[in-house]
Structure 1
Amino acid sequence: MLTDSLIPLVNRFRARQADDGTVRAPDGADRALLLRIRQEGAAWYRRHALDGQAAALEADIDGWLAAGLDSPPRFARSRAARPEPVAGETVFLLTSERGDPPTGTRLDCFFALYEEAPVPMPGRPRTDPPAVLIAGSAGVASAAPGGGPA
């Protein structure tokens, strides 16, 4: 279950990150924790037949490790690999926090249910409909209605 495995790992890693997503004076323990998050996150995706999202997560984390954890994370591949939301379906995402551009924020993950499908707007960037949070790391949970996990 995400609340017993991956979410606590992400929260531990978030505690080491600055607001811009960098890790000050990263050490071997930070790298090991991020590699464990990579392994568990990719395994979760693959167990749910989301191989493209698993590969994107692995590539994003590998790229961040290669650039150094003292550089901002770049998780554009993970966000791009996520399928469009469909009403009545759940979504899981492990990435740096959402934003535009999708760089330089803390690691986060969430599992949520989309109650409605997005409404496409010609000439406008994609915006997802509100989702009902089932479980999420600290950044997502604090942004949920009521300030805590659903």
Structure 2
Amino acid sequence: MKNIFALIILLFSVSSHAQTIIGQWETYDDKTKEKKAIVDIYKENDMYFGKIIKTFIGPKNALCLKCEGSKKDEPMIGLVIMEHIKKNGDEFDGGTILDPETGDVYKCNLKLINKNKLEVRGFIGISIIGRTQIWKRKT
């Protein structure tokens, strides 16, 4: 009986871990499908944030030249591009995402497609006007 109970706890912990957006995600160019960066999504005060931990385009010491405010001229590595995302049922929303190439900030929705694919939608105003990317979990 103890073994069955332990197995149930193990399966529950594995399945709940598989449903998290926390971790490292590879981002890709919409058109060329080339890998652009690795973003580390983490949780802080019941909200989710994402920061660039590696880039595959441009120089390794690139700065966010088009960003505004406190992020202007900050290094791309370590730059927080996703902020204040909250879990809302099966989706994550309520926050923003920064496009460091343009400096534009968009509202953001995230949806875990499966344990290794994350749908990232950045949009202006209503969610119809925007774009969606699929990020892949770094393994």
Q: Would you call these one fold, judging by a TM-score over 0.5?
A: no
Asked which structure has the greater CA Rg, the reply is 2
Higher helix share: 1
Higher strand share: 2
TM-score, normalising length from structure 2?
0.29
TM-score, normalising length from structure 1?
0.28
Higher relative contact order (CA 8 A, sep 6+): 1
